[in-house]
A and B are shown apart, each in its own frame.
Chain A
């Protein structure tokens, strides 16, 4: 029976500890009723949060007598969370900033407000090319706030050792990939081949820079792009199939990959945190017809059912203001969505910032179509069959062209 007593003591101690712990949480469970609280969701790294909390939020809080409750929600989790809240009839987020690659599900599921009537609140200094990103079927659901584009990272040391220069066109890309594979026995160039949105983005770049249209998928440019990728694939790094926006940074940092494209936030992860100063970046390569990058970045939306719509709209305008945009440029080296926002980025960041701006100049928005899920699937299936498994290009693309045509009519 000694053991029994011991257990009871143990349990008692545990309970006591629990009570003490929940005591000092001080009823953090409640207090959602406060009228002037604006709940904002963003997906940022720790350093970016610091800038937001220190420089961006306080002036708005003071001017409007609100408290901003900001929460971290990853782009892929935004639809999950909003859907759960919408189904429960309790929208607990007032405004979202969301990756523009992940907008379709929000619109399809009816989770965000139609902002068409507030179109005039977009300042006229905002670059007009950014606005279509937030439009679906002629309605405006999202407003621009942070344009972004993928840049090309490369390991300067390894390139020098191999006597190579970063590729400026497709031929050089193939040459570089071949050279590294021959030298080291393993591919050192990677594209993001996870067969999801990451890959879709790359495919858009390749097809468009060959003059093709990804939504047609069997035109001359698309055939060229897939033929090239099929030729390139054997020389790529094996991590290509695992490289996404997150892991690509790691592969670049630990020298698994010497050349790869990713979003500019990789700069702070690889160079600043990882101390890999030899990882440099440039805008990228051009295809047979032109250079093309998918215009990425983040947009602002308002979840349906929020009780603070008016305040959210105000915050939206604030995020697009010159004042905020200049903070974002100078402190985070984010390119601005306005033509009149300038800032001096820190010196070490300047070459990367220049690369972003140059790539941005060659960027094109992705079309927002209602059958986006089918496009995504068709592109990735085609990539798997043609590039990875080596099936003939034209007939396979014809097949997926027909699938897309059928999806369009649905």
Chain B
């Protein structure tokens, strides 16, 4: 039996531990990022040693300059950016209406549909990436933006549909019915009432989708000849052994993501996501 006095103790402990914990969590979050940045800015002798220092002793911009000059940055960046953005837009256009319909189904059916959407995500990619990629190559989409976008849709659609189903569930049905009483058609009620209200949920889904496509590797490997996307270019740097350039490259490509997430984090609060979860 927990008494009120104990609870005071718990509350006190929480208060006491709050900042140490917050700092600890921040520390763990930042350490890997710090190391990545550090390697990219250190002269080789700082890293290639049995006892690497924790701070940068011999600073150099060399690795960054090499990467920036290599010509390996702009085209892959462009490809990844365009593919991720278009994938996101199309995914929302395809998934949003369907998610709305699913969200209005009875609970048992809804669960079944959501889980069967995820069925394909439960399979390891090694088993299905090849046959899926073959489809797109047959359509002459090798080494094209379109091919990669279509492949990424395969990956992100179940995910985005799941988040959106949850978002729409939180919107009371009365709202659209009220609009229809006012003489609006169902489609108008949807586009004018339901979708605007759920815009924030859609935004969250969009961020997840965008990041997923930005980071995608396996399909890109099958569907690329010469126009590499960012993850493929990173893979090349990692395999071909220049540790410093691969760290510089990784850091450079993390910067836009950090900026975007920093700008968007304020929209990620309150109940935007809440809907996503009410199974």
The chain A residues found within 8 Å of chain B, CB to CB, are: 3-4, 7, 14-15, 17-18, 21-22, 24-25, 28-29, 39, 45-46, 69, 71-72, 74, 77, 80-81, 83-85, 87-90, 92-93, 246, 249-250, 253-256, 266, 269, 273-276
Cβ-defined contact, B82 with A21, below 8 A: yes
A271 vs chain B, min Cβ distance (A): 11
Contacts of A72 in B (CB 8 A): 236
- Which among A21, A24, A254 is the interface contact of B48 at CB below 8 angstroms? A254
Interface assignment of B209: CB less than 8 Å from any CB of chain A: no
Most buried by B among A77, A85, A89: A85
A275's contact among B45, B134, B138, by CB below 8 Å, is which?
Answer: B45
Q: Given the complex of chains A and B, what is the CA–CA distance between A256 and B49 in angstroms? A: 8
Find out whether the CB atom of B50 lies under 8 angstroms from the CB atom of A255: yes
Chain A residue nearest in CB terms to B72: A46
A39 to B79, CA, bound (A): 21
Partner of A93, one of B146, B203, B225, B241: B225
Contact A255 B49 (CB under 8 A): yes
* Docked pose: A80 CA to B219 CA in angstroms: 11
- Some 10 contacts from A to B, beta carbons below 8 A apart, are A15-B85, A18-B81, A21-B82, A25-B78, A81-B222, A84-B222, A92-B142, A254-B47, A254-B48, A269-B242
| Known A249-B241, A250-B241: A71·B225 in contact at CB below 8 Å | yes
In angstroms, Cα B130 to Cα A87, docked, is: 9
Number of residues of chain B lying within 8 A (CB) of chain A = 45
Interchain CB contact (< 8 A) of A87 among B134, B226, B239: B134
Q: Which residues of A contact B70 (CB under 8 A)?
A: 46
Q: A21-B82, A84-B137 are in contact. List 12 more A-B contacts (CB 8 A).
A: A3-B199, A25-B82, A45-B240, A69-B226, A83-B130, A85-B142, A88-B142, A89-B138, A254-B47, A266-B241, A273-B44, A276-B44
Q: Is B56 an interface residue (CB 8 A)?
A: no
A69–B52 Cα distance when bound, in Å, is: 42
On B, residues with C-beta under 8 Å from A are 44-45, 47-50, 52, 70, 78-79, 81-82, 85-86, 89, 130-131, 133-135, 137-138, 140, 142-146, 196, 199-200, 203, 221-222, 225-227, 236, 239-244, 267
Interface of chain B: mostly helix, strand, loop or mixed: helix
Q: From A73, which residue of chain B is reached at the shortest CB distance?
A: B225
Say yes or no: B45 contacts A90, CB within 8 Å. Answer: no
Q: How far is the CB of A91 from chain B (nearest CB, A)?
A: 10
Contact partners of A17 in chain B: CB under 8 A = 81, 85
Distance in angstroms between the alpha carbons of A72 and B143 in the assembled complex: 13
CB distance from B83 to the nearest CB of A (A): 10
| Residues of B contacting A81 in the complex (Cβ-Cβ under 8 angstroms) | 221-222
Question: Quick one: which of A80, A254, A275 contacts B222, CB cutoff 8 A?
Answer: A80
Complex Cα–Cα for A72 and B79 (A) = 17
Q: Are B140 and A90 within 8 A (Cβ)?
A: yes
Contacts of B131 in A (CB 8 A): 87
The residue among A17, A87, A246, A249 with the most chain B CB atoms within 10 A of its own CB is A87
Once the chains are docked, how many angstroms separate the CA of A24 from the CA of B77?
A: 13
Name the contact of A4 in the complex, choosing from B144, B145, B199 (C-beta under 8 A): B199
Residue in A3, A18, A266 with the greatest tally of chain B CB atoms within 10 Å: A18
Residue in B closest to A18 when the chains form the complex, CB atoms: B85
Q: Give the CA-CA distance A80 to B225 in the complex, in Å.
A: 12
Say how far A20's CB is from chain B's closest CB, in angstroms.
10
Contacts of A39 in B (CB 8 A): 225
**What residues on A are CB-neighbors of B242 within 8 Å?**
46, 269, 273
Q: Which residues of A contact B240 (CB under 8 A)?
A: 45-46, 269
Contact of A274 among B48, B130, B199, B226 (CB under 8 A): B48
Alpha-carbon distance A90/B244, docked complex (angstroms): 38
**Contact flag A22-B82 (CB < 8 Å), given A46-B240, A92-B143:** yes
A189 to B244, CA, bound (A): 25
The chain B residue sitting closest to A268, CB to CB, is B241
Contacts of A274 in B (CB 8 A): 44, 48, 243
Residue of A nearest to B50 (CB): A255
The CA of A69 and the CA of B142, in the complex, are separated in Å by: 15
Given contacts A18-B85, A84-B130, A275-B45, contact A250 B227 (CB under 8 A): no
